[in-house]
Amino acid sequence: MQGAGSCALHLLFDGANMYKYIIKRLLMLIPVLLGVAFVIFAIMNVAEGDPVYQVAGPDATEEQLEALREEMGLNGSLIQRYFRYIGNLLKGDLGTSYISKMDVMKLYFQRLPNTLKLASLAMLVAVLISVPLGIIAAVNQNSWKDTLAMILALIGLSMPNFWLGLLLMLLFALKLGWFPSGGSEGFISVVLPAVTVGVGLAALLTRTTRSSMLDVLRQDYLRTARAKGVTERKVIYYHALRNALIPIITIFGVQFSNVLGGSVLAETVFAWPGVGRLVVDAIDQRDIPTVTGALIMTTMLVTVVNLIVDIVYAYVDPRIKAQYTK
């Protein structure tokens, strides 16, 4: 009974420490988000000039311009407009698109599921390629298998996404007709964009997996496990891989964030209706509210993903959590 009570008490304090860790991380995100939002807001509003002339047209009088500026919330200094924008953002209001006249928040969340689908499948492709390849390279260090794996990783790392996407489109869409060349007509439409993005991500993950596994494979406890009769497969995939996960999770989280915020090329090449394509179209049309709102929301999403990755770190490696629970 005493042992069970001690275990329960330990779990209680461990859970409390985890909540403390999460709260500290959330508080650290607030100034980051406010700072990034200000930079995006300032660049879009200063670089593009006064959008009132774009909306009102060339024949508008000065009185009409002032009235429209008041209606659009563009009166006042940059700082005043920024705090007004943040106040509206906290209410779920990102403004109205100049082109479609739709609510920017609604536009963003219409496109977000497509970007999440592309990012998730791309990361799945990357993991399915990189983890087995990295393990094979580490277990067979300095052999032809290791050399071949690193050559493939170097090719994947050097290949531009848009070029690979065009090659895949030419082969599998135009020549073989197995997949559509663009659009979002069901699951089959996301295969080529996901492979295009995933192959590039797999290159770095392969090198990270190999490096991390090499560090773990040299540890004494693996030799002890083998001496006890544990099968080589269990030593590699249970003991070694489990303890090599921290660097892999790090790169995985960073890459997933990059895909969420930077899959513009793949979405453009394959006409995939995600957030990246929304931003590109809005830039072409000088739709400042849509560009600003989409970038700020994507920044917030990437920040949340990074927070989730940090929490996963803490569960996998308690030493990280201890830095924030002292």
**Which pLDDT does position 1 carry in this prediction?**
44
CB atoms within 10 A of CB 110: 13
What is the model's pLDDT at position 8? Answer: 41
**What span, in angstroms and rounded, lies between the C-alpha atoms of 211 and 130?**
12
With contact defined as beta carbons under 8 Å apart, do 169 and 181 qualify? Answer: yes
Give me the pLDDT at residue 147, please: 85
Going from the C-alpha of 102 to that of each of 94, 228, 281, 312, the distances in angstroms are 10, 66, 15, 37
CB within 8 A of 221, min separation 6: which ones?
A: 239
pTM of the prediction? 0.75
Environment class of 210 (CB within 10 Å of its CB; exposed 0-12, middle 13-18, buried 19+): buried
Domain ranges of the chain: 2-90, 107-286
- Residue 281 in 3-state DSSP? helix
60 half-sphere exposure, CB direction, 13 A CA radius: 15
Q: What is the spatial distance between Cα 66 and Cα 52, in angstroms, rounded to a whole number?
A: 9
pLDDT for residue 176: 79
The residue ranges of the chain whose pLDDT is under 50 are 1-13
- Span 92-126, pLDDT tens digits: 877 778 777 788 888 888 888 888 888 888 888 88
Residue with tokens 């269990």: 234
Query: What local confidence, expressed as pLDDT, does residue 67 receive?
Result: 67
Which residues does residue 103 pair with via DSSP β-bridges, in sequence order? 96
Residue 11, pLDDT score: 38
What architecture is the 107-286 domain classified under in CATH? Orthogonal Bundle (1.10)
Give one DSSP letter per residue of 73-123, joined into a string. Answer: T--S-HHHHHHHHHHHHHTT---B-TTT--BHHHHHHHHHHHHHHHHHHHH
Which pairs count as long-range contacts for 105-114, CB under 8 Å and 24+ apart, including other chains?
105/293, 105/297, 107/278, 107/290, 107/293, 107/294, 108/275, 108/278, 108/293, 108/294, 108/297, 111/273, 111/274, 111/275, 111/277, 111/278, 112/274, 112/275, 112/301, 114/184, 114/272, 114/273, 114/274, 114/275
Q: Which of 72, 207, 195 is nearest to 130 (CA)?
A: 207
- CB count within 10 Å of CB 188 equals 10
Give the model's pLDDT for residue 74.
Answer: 63
Surface-to-core class of residue 59, CB atoms within 10 Å of its CB (0-12 exposed, 13-18 middle, 19+ buried): exposed
Helix or strand (DSSP H, E) at 220: helix 220-227
